[in-house]
Chains A and B, each alone.
Chain A
Amino acid sequence: QSALTQPPSASGSPGQSVTISCTGTSSDVGAYNYVSWYQQHPGKAPKLMIYEVTKRPSGVPDRFSGSKYGSTASLTVSGLQAEDEADYYCSSYVGSDNFEFGGGTKLTVL
């Protein structure tokens, strides 16, 4: 199983928007609407930010949004804040009760 492809880094200034991509194939991201996004601060456990491509768990700010086009999913963070600086990981169901994660993207708030 290959990891989903994410850019290693992304950055933006406070107040700006930044989008992180997660590229898979027609067998994973392109086949299922079970794409999730996680935020991880140093020394902390990952936190669910988006599930089923576009849905936010309660308590997650609406500055975070998800989308998908074909085999590429995206996480957009609008109105960047300092506390958004973290690592972000995507995940997708790939069938046969299996999942995959992306390699992670380090988001820097300039």
Chain B
Amino acid sequence: EVQLVESGGGLVQPGGSLRLSCAASGFTFSSYLMHWVRQVPGKGLVWVSRIYSDGSKKGYADSVKGRFTISRDNAKNTLYLQMSSLRDEDTGIYHCTRESDPGGLEWGQGTMVTVSS
């Protein structure tokens, strides 16, 4: 069974930093592209970032480019999202997702990030 378990969320002040982790199991992690997607509770989905299976290529939404860094450790079956210069609008549930099919994502339950003073 595919499992994606996010951690590292919490309350942080504007301008602060946070690192999210996603522990993957039940599949060959090193074979899959992975994404992060944000959702404000009760609202829509916002794509954040994607990384290739070998980490060679990365993509970012314009709203986080230069502030967020996606990375992965295939030996540890773990995906990361380093977030810095955080803003109020970065608040939301961050879901780790596996690109199980071309452009199609399987989702973890997410970890909540709250940016507030």
A interface with B by C-beta (< 8 Å): 1, 3, 34-36, 38, 45-48, 50-52, 55, 57, 89, 91-93, 96-104
The A-B contact count (CB < 8 A) is: 74
Main secondary structure of the interface of A (DSSP, over half): strand
**Complex: how many Å from CA A12 to CA B99?**
31
Main secondary structure of the interface of B (DSSP, over half): strand
Q: Is B103 within 8 A of A57, CB to CB?
A: no
Residue of B at shortest CB range from A6?
B44
Q: Is A52 within 8 A of B101, CB to CB?
A: yes
8 Å CB contact of B101 from A38, A47, A57: A57
B101 neighbours in A (Cβ, 8 Å): 48, 51-52, 55, 57
**Complex: how many Å from CA A6 to CA B95?**
22
B interface with A by C-beta (< 8 Å): 35, 37, 44-47, 50, 57-63, 95, 100-110
**Complex: how many Å from CA A102 to CA B37?**
13
Q: Is B61 within 8 A of A96, CB to CB?
A: no
Known: A98-B59, A98-B61. A89 touches B106 (CB 8 A): no
Q: Is B46 within 8 A of A101, CB to CB?
A: yes
8 Å CB contact of B103 from A3, A36, A45, A104: A36
